[in-house]
Amino acid sequence: MTSSALVKTEYEAIIGLETHCQLSTNTKIFSNSSTAFGADPNTNIDPVCMGLPGVLPVLNEKVLEYAVKAGLALNCQIAKYSKFDRKQYFYPDLPKNYQISQYDLPIAEHGWLEIELVDANGNPLRKKIGITRLHMEEDAGKLVHAGSDRLSGSTYSLVDYNRAGVPLVEIVSEPDLRSGQEAAEYAQELRRILRYIGVSDGNMQEGSLRCDVNISVRPIGQREFGTKVEIKNMNSFNAIQRAIEYEIERQIAAVEAGDRIIQETRLWEETSQRTISMRVKEGSSDYRYFPEPDLAPIEVTNEQLAAWRSTLPELPAEKRQRYESDLGLSPYDARVLTEESNVAAYFEEAIALGANPKQAANWIMGDIAAYLNKQKLSITEIALTPTNLAKVITLIEKGTIGSNKAKEKLPELLAGNSPDKVFKGEEKISDASVLEPIIDQIIAANPKELEKYKSGKTNLKGFFVGQVLKQTGGRADPKLTNELVDQKLNA
């Protein structure tokens, strides 16, 4: 009689993200109402976004420009011809009972972005994630539930239509992600790109960037996808990772127990750290799409495309690789410095003025970052300019001042004082002709200590060095002082 050990089935997750990004225009996509965040409820509204009879939408040209720029930055093919469609559904925060979106002819398709993770040894691991499509659409309003953060458990709901008609791009990834960590990094890189090119502020706490996660599991080696589940409206990168990790475990447990995974929409419950069922997922046929009759099709000319492409800056992934290859920075340093475009600009201005790249990185990521975090400031809001930071680093490298002295004086530098003023009288003494008379005077003033040193009873070299540093206020170059004291005592 023979027996064989059971082989445990290993699974992999198939993950894709649908990301809604608010575009940073001053007015809405089809009307001239303000998009400013934080206004009193139902004040940024107008007949168009409220869907009143007899009104017609007019496309905001800046929305088209920003959508095309986002598509270009994501390496997408920009459609020369696209159109808007009506997506039919009823919900109290959708005044028209339909949303103007794009269905079969989106403005951009077939792109990619590169994510970068760092392994345990600090080496970068890069992976391209496909972008299926990017399309423009209008946002709906917002329901405020009384007594609960969602409809279930609330006693009544209020509707704020300020967001109705706010311009969005929806960016749909390919199902190329395999873990919660990859998905969180994808969302962060997408946010970095949109902020770098200036089309979205990406403020998740204000709803400017929201992610829906599509996830299924399958045994490793199986080609067919499992049944997809959507997790709706994720509003933090940590939540994206934790929700995916929970859902992977939930689906694997269900499959192994013989339960059927149903296609549904779930919500992430932060308090209990779990996903809960919301509704059975609709299909595209449920929305009864048809071409929007009140808006003409869109044609992007070659001239427009070239003009918008020319305004794109160097993107985060390009900067990271350049910082590593050209400046010799570590992947970690490159990643931190390129997280925000204004930090990268500050760093690059400092090194253009002669600052050592590694020293500039250390200052920006260390003492300056700590100050910014404590004061809740942006790097553009501090009085220490890149010019003055470059001067400080140059003074340290020349040996004019010590790094400890520079850090001691940092509050004065952050207050906007120039290095010339801050370090006046603090310069390190590295001139032997200046130090030798001081050393001679100290030796002459301490004959007993000199006699003990000469007799070999004790080593008092440190005593004499300390006296020189004390007399010069710590400004004497320690290495040179040691050498000169040694020469004088042994003459």
Mean pLDDT across 131-145? 95
Question: Which pLDDT band holds residue 2 (cuts at 50, 70, 90)?
Answer: very low
How far, in Å, CA of 95 to CA of 31, rounded?
15
With beta carbons less than 8 A apart as the criterion, state whether 242 and 213 touch. Answer: no
Q: Is the pLDDT of residue 338 over 90?
A: yes
Q: Which residues pair with 82 in a beta bridge?
A: 298
Question: HSE on the CB side for 290, CA within 13 Å?
Answer: 4
42-56, 227-241, 476-490 — most confident range: 42-56
Q: Is the pLDDT of residue 15 over 90?
A: yes
Q: Is the pLDDT of residue 27 over 90?
A: yes
With beta carbons less than 8 A apart as the criterion, state whether 134 and 108 touch. Answer: yes
How far, in Å, CA of 346 to CA of 198, rounded?
17
**What kind and span of H or E run contains 181?**
helix 180-196
Q: Is the pLDDT of residue 451 over 80?
A: no
pTM of the model: 0.85
Mean pLDDT across 100-123? 92
Q: Is the pLDDT of residue 155 over 80?
A: yes
Q: Where are the alpha helices (DSSP H) in 409-446?
A: 410-414, 419-422, 432-444
Mean pLDDT across 58-75? 98
Q: Is the pLDDT of residue 434 over 80?
A: no
**What kind and span of H or E run contains 463?**
helix 461-471
User: How many Cβ atoms sit within 10 Å of the Cβ of residue 486?
Assistant: 13
Question: Which pLDDT band holds residue 281 (cuts at 50, 70, 90)?
Answer: low
Q: Give me the sign of the Cα torsion angle 149, 155, 161, 162.
A: negative
Pick from 105-109, 349-353, 429-433: least confident = 429-433
Residues 6+ positions from 282 with CB-CB distance below 8 Å: 89
Q: Per-residue pLDDT tens for 362-419?
A: 999 999 999 999 999 999 999 999 999 999 999 888 777 878 888 888 999 999 998 8
Q: Per-residue pLDDT tens for 249-273?
A: 999 999 999 999 999 999 998 889 9
Residue 93 vs residue 281, higher pLDDT: 93
Q: Is the pLDDT of residue 440 over 70?
A: yes
The closest alpha carbon to 215, from 224, 226, 228, belongs to 228
Residue 114, token pair as written in the block:
């590169």
Instruction: Give phi and psi for 435, each to the nearest 5.
Output: -80, -35
How far, in Å, CA of 211 to CA of 42, rounded?
25
Instruction: Give phi and psi for 334, each to the nearest 5.
Output: -60, -40
Question: Which pLDDT band holds residue 106 (cuts at 50, 70, 90)?
Answer: very high
How far, in Å, CA of 331 to CA of 326, rounded?
12
With pLDDT > 90 as the criterion, what percentage of the chain qualifies?
A: 68
Q: What's residue 282's pLDDT?
A: 59
Residue 475 vs residue 194, higher pLDDT: 194
Q: Is the pLDDT of residue 240 over 70?
A: yes
Q: What's residue 428's pLDDT?
A: 66
Residue labelled with tokens 């005044």 = 95
Q: At what angle do helices 61-73 and 302-310 cross, to 10 degrees?
A: 70
Pick from 177-186, 210-219, 333-342, 467-476: least confident = 467-476
With beta carbons less than 8 A apart as the criterion, state whether 139 and 123 touch. Answer: no
First to last CA, the chain: 94
What is the pLDDT of the chain when averaged over all its residues? 90
Residue labelled with tokens 């997809």 = 228
Q: Which residues pair with 299 in a beta bridge?
A: 81
Q: Give me the sign of the Cα torsion angle 254, 256, 259, 261.
A: positive
